[in-house]
Structures are given as structure tokens and as C-alpha cells.
Amino acid sequence: MDDQILVINCGSSSVKIAVFDSQGTALVSALAERLGQRGARLVPDQTQPVTLPENANHQEALSASIHWLQESGYLNGQPSAIGHRVVHGGETFQEAALLDDDAIRAIEACADLAPLHNPVNLEGIQAARELFPEVPQVAVFDTAFHQTLPRHAWLYALPRRFYEDYGVRRYGFHGTSHHYMAEEAARRLGKPLEQTSIISAHLGNGCSITAIRNGLSVDTSMGLTPLEGLVMGTRSGDIDPGLFEFMAVKGVPAEETHRILNRESGLLGISGQTSDMRNLVSAAREGNEHCRDAFEVFCFRLARYIGAMMVSLDQLDALVFTGGIGENSTHVRARTLEHLTLPGFLIDPEANENHGSQLDGHIEAASSRFPVLVIPTREEAMIAREARALVQVHANPRTNRH
């Protein structure tokens, strides 16, 4: 029987699952959505949606989805390992971890740093342990790749006790995706990872940017939580922290401002109508001023952060775009780089239009000082690979992982 890896990515109202074969190829991926609501369903990438039990919670959805994977022949009985995406690993986890009771306790201990994410990630872990008690399970953390940030990049200018007593510091997220960008860019550029330096822009519903020097993360835009940094679909990114007091005086309590910064800001907040870049760009092109504003603020702030990331590098092998927006939005890439002619970024309009598909991802003009690449992210494949590697090391401790 082929040895397969199951990947589980539990979000607040959805679960992504995928099965990978021993070559690292995805056999299927599927999204269980509308959890806890009417019309819960599983949407596989290759077949029609499947109805899930009404109001299914994460555990019920996961169990029904895994059952479907087995019945449809995508999963042969038990996988040989299960990889879970876990958002926050605090300072405890510098890399992926085998999920024993101690590791689970440590993830629980990080829950106050990611109250929206870690508890739901843990639900997925518990459900998978109950379904497959014999199968080794691995946690792959969004924060782990950024544990190499130098102190000056992660320390906030706050009283020391904020860090010492509460762990308030910059952690960074989307690490699995940024790590993959570094590896894939190095491969495409024909350089060893340890000698490759890139700026990686992950632009999905959440957006973050990372400076990677010689294969290691050295600066990143998200901080204590995923709210800091770039403008996102519904998150504000950087904001004057004085806003909390200002709004409190106006009668809006801090919790409400916090909710608005997470859920009603960003592209949605400025446009007043959509967090979806596709709709935003078409409305802006039809003359909608608010959508135009949202697009312009998004691209300007992204460009400003690309400039800021250069501070942490002594060479730049490529600027890399990924995520739903980074991979698909010709307009965002073009407008952003228009702000960056001084450092010398220039893109080729035709290559950009084709997302670099005929050029191994390259969209820069011949006269650009730096290569610019479009690389589709493969977070689930990375999680599967890390899970497989870790399980192999534990099965045979003499094998060197790398």
C-alpha cells in the first residue's frame, strides 16, 4: 500500500484537508466550509461538493470528510502520518513537532497568543487523534520559520516586562509559505538555499511580507498577531495604536475597535463593499472611487514594505509574489512596482499579464535591477513534507533529516 500523508488545516469556519502520495503529489484536496452553519459542505478540488451533516462542527466535519476520502478511494485506510497546520508556536517551537501529550500542552499554552486560531487547530488535532490513534501526528507552525529573526527585528519598543511577563514580541506568520518561497526561488534561480536572499510577499486574504537572507527569515511584517503589517482583505495592518484611546473617548470600547480592525477594515473597510481583490479591481476600473482608494492604499503600503524589507538584506536574488492576489493580480503587481523604480524594480507587462507562466515565473523586464517571480504557494505540500520527514526521523533516529 502506498504510504500517504493526510494534511489538516483547521480554520475558524472551515477545514482544508489534502492527501499526498509518497512522491509528495497531492491526490486530492478539499475544503469543508460553512461549519457550524446551515449548508455545511465539503468541496473537493476535482469533484462535486458533498453535503456534510447539518451544522457540523469541526470534529464532525473532519470525521465525515475523512470517511468520504476513504470511500472515494483517495485515502487507502490509514495514512502513514498526519500533518496539522498550527498557527502559533510561540517561542517554544522552532520547527515542526511530533504531537505527543507534551507538545499538545505546549500548544495549549500558546493559545492566549492566538485565541482565534490555536484552539480550533487543537480541535482538529484531537479529532484526528481519535480517528487514527495509531498514526503519528505532526504540528507545522506558521511562526516557526520566523524564529530566526534577529532580536532587533522582533523586539517591540515597549517596557521589557511586556515581553518578559507576557511574551509580547513580534512572531510573524505564514512561515510555511515564506519558507517554501525561499526554497522554490532558490531552485528556480539555480542557487543553494543557504546563499539565496529574497523578499517574499504572501498576498491572500491575510497578507505578509518577509525578508529572507541566506535562506533564513530576518524580518517580517506580521507581529504579535496577524493584524500587523500590510493592508489585508479585512484587516487594517499597521495603525497608530493611539486609535484605541481616541475611539474609546468617542464611545467605542477597545474590544470593538479590535474587532473592526480584524474584520471590517483593510480592503473591505476602505471600499465599503468587498474584501475580494477581483471585485475590487473591476469596480475600480468601472470608476468606483472607494474601490480605487482601497486598491491604491493596498499597493502603496505593499511597496513601502518591500522597501523596508531591503534594510535587512545585503543582496537580493528575487522579489517573489504568491497567494491568491500575488499569483493572480496583474494589476496589484504592476501598480506596486510602479512605486519602486528608485531601487530598480521593473516588470515586463506581457510577462506580468501571463503571471510569468512561460518564463518559470519571471516577470521582470530585462533592465530590472532585480528578478521578480510569481510562484504559486504550496503550504499543504510543505506540511506533508515536514510531517513525513519528522516521522521518518523518529522511526529511524540515525537518518539525518536534511
Residue 328 is a binding residue for ligand ADP (CB under 6 A): yes
Nearer to ligand ADP, 90 or 323 (CB): 323
- Please give the C-alpha separations between residue 191 and each of 73, 197, 312, in angstroms, as whole numbers: 39, 10, 20
Is residue 323 close enough to count as binding ligand ADP by CB under 6 A?
yes
Is 238 among the catalytic positions? no
Could you give the CA distance from residue 260 to residue 138 in angstroms, rounded to a whole number? 34
What residue number has its CB nearest to ligand ADP? Answer: 324
Q: Which one of residues 325, 363, 372, 375 is an interface residue with ligand ADP (CB under 6 A)?
A: 325
Residue whose C-alpha cell is 494534511? 7
Smallest gap, in angstroms, from Cβ of residue 9 to ligand ADP? 9
Does position 172 bind ligand ADP by CB under 6 A?
no
- Exactly one of 2, 3, 45, 142 is catalytic; which is it? 142
Q: Where are the alpha helices (DSSP H) in 155-288?
A: 160-166, 175-189, 243-249, 254-263, 266-271, 277-285
Please state, in angstroms and rounded to a whole number, the distance separating the CA atoms of residues 7 and 384.
6
Stretch that binds ligand ADP, among 117-125, 180-188, 202-210, 347-355 (CB under 6 A): 202-210
# of chain residues touching ligand ADP (CB under 6 A): 12
Least spacing, CB of residue 13 vs ligand ADP, in Å:
12
Which residue's CB is nearer to ligand ADP, number 188 or number 378? 378
The minimum distance between CB 99 and ligand ADP, in angstroms, equals 24
Tell me if 266 contacts ligand ADP by CB under 6 A: no
- Other C-beta atoms lying within 10 Å of the C-beta of residue 341: 11
Pick the piece of the chain touching ligand ADP (CB under 6 A) from 114-122, 185-193, 244-252, 319-327: 319-327
State the minimum distance, in angstroms, from the CB of residue 332 to ligand ADP: 7
Quote the Cα angle for 4-67-54, to 5°.
140
- Please identify which residue in 59, 147, 271, 329 interacts with ligand ADP, judged by CB under 6 A: 329
216-245 positions binding ligand ADP, by CB under 6 A: 233
Cβ proximity to ligand ADP: between 123 and 276 the closer is 276
Cα–Cα distance for residue pair 216/197, rounded to 1 Å: 8
**CA trace torsion 87, 92, 94, 100 (10° rounding):** -80
Q: Are 328 and 310 in contact (CB under 8 A)?
A: no
- Which amino acid is residue 9, in one-letter code? N
- Give whichever of 79 and 356 is closer to ligand ADP, judged by the CB atom: 356
Minimum distance between the CB of residue 118 and ligand ADP, rounded to whole angstroms?
Answer: 18
Q: Are 146 and 26 in contact (CB under 8 A)?
A: no
**Amino acid occupying residue 80:** S
Judged by CB under 6 A, the chain residues 267 through 306 that form the site for ligand ADP are 276-278
- What single DSSP character describes residue 301? H
Q: Which one of the spans 92-100, 112-120, 131-139, 198-206 is the region binding ligand ADP (CB under 6 A)?
A: 198-206
**Which is closer to ligand ADP, CB of 93 or CB of 321?**
321
* C-alpha–C-alpha distance, residues 57 and 53, integer Å: 9
Stretch that binds ligand ADP, among 22-30, 178-186, 189-197, 204-212 (CB under 6 A): 204-212
| Cα(87)–Cα(121) distance, integer angstroms | 8
For residues 150 and 349, which CB has a smaller minimum distance to ligand ADP in the complex?
Answer: 349
175 binding ligand ADP? (CB under 6 A)? no
Q: What angle do CA 268, 327, 338 make, to 5 degrees?
A: 75
The strands making up 5-10's β-sheet, listed across from edge to edge, are 50-51, 41-44, 26-33, 15-20, 5-10, 81-86, 137-141, 97-98
Site of interaction with ligand ADP (CB under 6 A)? 204-206, 233, 276-278, 323-325, 328-329
Residues annotated catalytic, as ranges? 142
